[in-house]
């Protein structure tokens, strides 16, 4: 016997939760299902626990930077076991709290792998449920590298569950995950190497500020080696042997570590859905969508979050997409997502943040072909020197015709917060002059805007 609902949501992260509550509030009968603990990647395996680890790494680093300047003479490292215990105070209570919230809202909960039986029916274990709308918010998973020894790679999720960190760690890849966790591991006393197959790390961010961050990483004891693609991982008596091929046709090189962490990107987690049975078309491995976040082949299906493109794979974007798509289900297709002003941050030490275009991006779609670039080395500014931070910089790109801010990029203290001021200014059309003339508290990094924008 099939159970019938107005909506079935697959996934319980920020996107799935937004869908479920908004459609439930609109009077629809809603069911939600997850093959893992309720709560999704961000709360359990991503942003939230990572920021807990990063927070302690920042405290340790700040202490060590100020040795002989007020914090004593003894260098500290992260007490990893107690940090992981602290992290669990955030993650462990979340699944039961999430389930309880759904129950109290009269949203039906299911556990198991959901897969399509036909365009309107899902199978979950031995049960079949049918719905007017099926929502896919299954998130993403680490990309398969298809190399010998891939099974030895440790995911970022497993990294955050380790009872202790090994002495030597290799991160395969040079994106968010590798840089952020490398900075954490370095403050825990590990010897860290990042192997990046291309000639750039953090390709989405401004290259000049990334170069400065690379120097900060090296000062923290992190080796960043470019042009080295991991082609094989072998288990040894003491750990692992990593063989790389050189992008410039050089000789293969080997590296040794006690652990190798997957940092080579993520892909949509949609393999188990059997989308073909639901007539859900794909395009280059992604669900084919119209501008309303609706499947082009099965109009019952809407989706949001890290399991789709377009849109950067960020928690606020997932929630935005879900709210828009839910409104389209309730009111009819009329809303689309705007991705032009989405700030993002890499939580390294110091953090690197950006919004809008980078200096080398095509300017074909902006109002003026002429733009000016304001770059400042902020390493000697008060906001940086007061905590003995050695690396800080800013770059702002301004349309000369309109004085509008096209892009802003920050490396330094509180970059993750200050970038939001730029995002608001860009979203609502403030000019650089208007933002520069705004009064912010003194002394603060926000106060520095009047100089960053000169």
Give me the mean pLDDT over the 344-369 stretch. Answer: 80
pLDDT digits (tens, 9 = 90+) for 79-104: 999 999 999 999 999 999 999 999 99
Please give the model's pTM, rounded to 2 decimal places.
0.94
Query: What is the spatial distance between Cα 66 and Cα 447, in angstroms, rounded to a whole number?
Result: 23
What pLDDT sits at residue 196? 96
Residue 357 has pLDDT above 70, yes or no: yes
> What are the CA-CA distances from residue 63 to residues 85, 86, 214 (Å)?
22, 20, 21
What pLDDT sits at residue 446? 87
What pLDDT sits at residue 441? 85
Helices 80-91 and 47-65: angle between axes, nearest 10 degrees: 140
Residue 345 has pLDDT above 60, yes or no: yes
pLDDT digits (tens, 9 = 90+) for 383-418: 999 999 999 999 999 999 999 999 999 999 999 999
Give me the mean pLDDT over the 248-253 stretch. Answer: 77
Residue 42 has pLDDT above 80, yes or no: yes
For every residue of the chain, which 3-state class applies, written as one string? CEEEEEEEEECCCHHHHHHHHHHHHCCCCEEEEECCCCCHHHHHCCHHHHHHHHHHHHHHHHHHHCCCCCCCCCCCCCCHHHHHHHHHHHHCCHHHHHHHHHHHCCCEEEECCEEEEECCEEEECCEEEEEEEEEECCCEEECCCCCCCHHHCECHHHHCCCCCCCCEEEEECCCHHHHHHHHHHHHCCCEEEEEECCCCCCCCCCHHHHHHHHHHHHHCCEEEEECEEEEEEEECCCCEEEEEEECCCCCCEEEEECEEEECCCEEECCHHHCHHHHCCCEECCEECECCCCEECCCCCEEECCCCCCCCCCCHHHHHHHHHHHHHHHHHCCCCCCCCCCCCEEECCCCCEEEEECCCCCCCCCCCCCCEEEEEEECCCCHHHHCCCCCCCEEEEEEECCCCEEEEEEEECCCHHHHHHHHHHHHHCCCEHHHHHCCCCCCCCCHHHHHHHCC
Residue 363 has pLDDT above 70, yes or no: no
Q: What percent of the chain has pLDDT over 70?
A: 97
Residue 370 has pLDDT above 90, yes or no: no
The phi-psi region of residue 289 (left if phi > 0; otherwise alpha if psi is between -120 and 50; otherwise beta) is: beta
pLDDT digits (tens, 9 = 90+) for 119-149: 999 999 999 999 999 999 999 999 999 999 9
pLDDT band at 285 (very low <50, low <70, confident <90, very high): confident
Give, in degrees to the nearest 5, the angle at Cα 150 between 149 and 155: 135
pLDDT digits (tens, 9 = 90+) for 137-185: 999 999 999 999 999 999 999 999 999 999 999 999 999 999 999 999 9
Backbone dihedral angles phi then psi of residue 332, each to the nearest 5 degrees: 95, 155
pLDDT band at 359 (very low <50, low <70, confident <90, very high): confident
Query: What is the spatial distance between Cα 87 and Cα 94, in angstroms, rounded to a whole number?
Result: 12
Residue 246 has pLDDT above 60, yes or no: yes
Beta-carbon count within 10 A of 281 CB: 15
Query: What is the spatial distance between Cα 56 and Cα 188, in angstroms, rounded to a whole number?
Result: 10
What pLDDT sits at residue 247? 66
What pLDDT sits at residue 248? 66
Strand partners, 243: 232, 254
Which carries the bigger pLDDT value, residue 24 or residue 363? 24
Residue 259 has pLDDT above 80, yes or no: yes
Mean confidence (pLDDT) of the chain = 94
């Amino acid at each position: 016997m099939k159970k019938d609902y107005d909506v079935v949501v697959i996934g319980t992260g920020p996107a799935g939760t937004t869908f479920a509550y908004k459609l439930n509030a609109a009077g629809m009968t809603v069911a939600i299902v997850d093959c893992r603990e309720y709560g999704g990647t961000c709360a359990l395996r991503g942003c939230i626990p990572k920021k807990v680890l990063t927070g302690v790494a920042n405290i340790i680093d700040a202490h060590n930077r100020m040795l002989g300047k007020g914090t004593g003479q003894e260098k500290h490292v992260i007490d990893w076991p107690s940090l992981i215990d602290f992290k669990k105070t955030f993650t462990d209570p979340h699944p039961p709290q999430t389930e309880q919230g759904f129950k109290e809202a009269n949203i039906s909960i299911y556990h198991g792998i959901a897969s399509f039986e036909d365009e309107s029916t899902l199978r979950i274990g031995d049960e079949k449920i049918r719905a007017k709308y099926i929502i896919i918010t299954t998130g993403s998973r680490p990309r398969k590298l298809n190399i010998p020894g891939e099974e030895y790679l440790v995911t970022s999720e497993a990294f955050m569950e380790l009872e202790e960190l090994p002495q030597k760690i290799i991160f395969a890849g040079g994106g968010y995950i590798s840089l952020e966790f490398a900075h954490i591991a370095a403050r825990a006393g590990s010897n860290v190497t990042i192997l990046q197959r291309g000639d750039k790390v953090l390709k989405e961010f401004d290259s000049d500020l990334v170069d400065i961050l690379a120097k900060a990483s090296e000062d923290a004891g992190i080796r960043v080696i470019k042009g080295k693609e991991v082609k094989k991982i072998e288990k040894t008596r003491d750990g692992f042997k990593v063989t790389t091929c050189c992008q410039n046709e050089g000789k293969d090189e080997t590296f040794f570590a006690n652990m190798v962490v997957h940092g080579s990107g993520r892909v949509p987690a949609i393999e188990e859905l059997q989308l073909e049975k639901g007539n859900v078309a794909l395009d280059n491995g992604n669900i084919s969508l119209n501008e309303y976040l609706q499947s082009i082949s099965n109009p019952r299906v809407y989706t949001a979050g890290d399991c789709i493109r377009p849109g950067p794979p960020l928690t606020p974007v997932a929630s935005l997409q879900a709210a828009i798509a839910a409104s389209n289900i309730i009111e009819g297709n009329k809303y689309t997502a705007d991705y032009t002003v989405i700030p993002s941050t890499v939580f390294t030490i110091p953090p690197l943040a950006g919004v809008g275009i980078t200096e080398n991006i095509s300017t074909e779609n902006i109002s003026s072909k002429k733009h000016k670039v304001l770059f400042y080395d902020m390493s000697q500014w008060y906001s940086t020197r007061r905590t003995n931070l050695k690396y800080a910089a800013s770059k702002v790109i301004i349309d000369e015709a309109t004085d509008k801010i096209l892009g802003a990029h920050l490396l330094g203290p509180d970059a993750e917060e200050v970038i939001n001021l730029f995002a608001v200014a860009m979203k609502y059309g403030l000019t650089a002059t208007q933002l520069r003339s705004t009064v912010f508290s003194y002394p603060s990094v926000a106060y520095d805007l009047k100089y960053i924008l000169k």
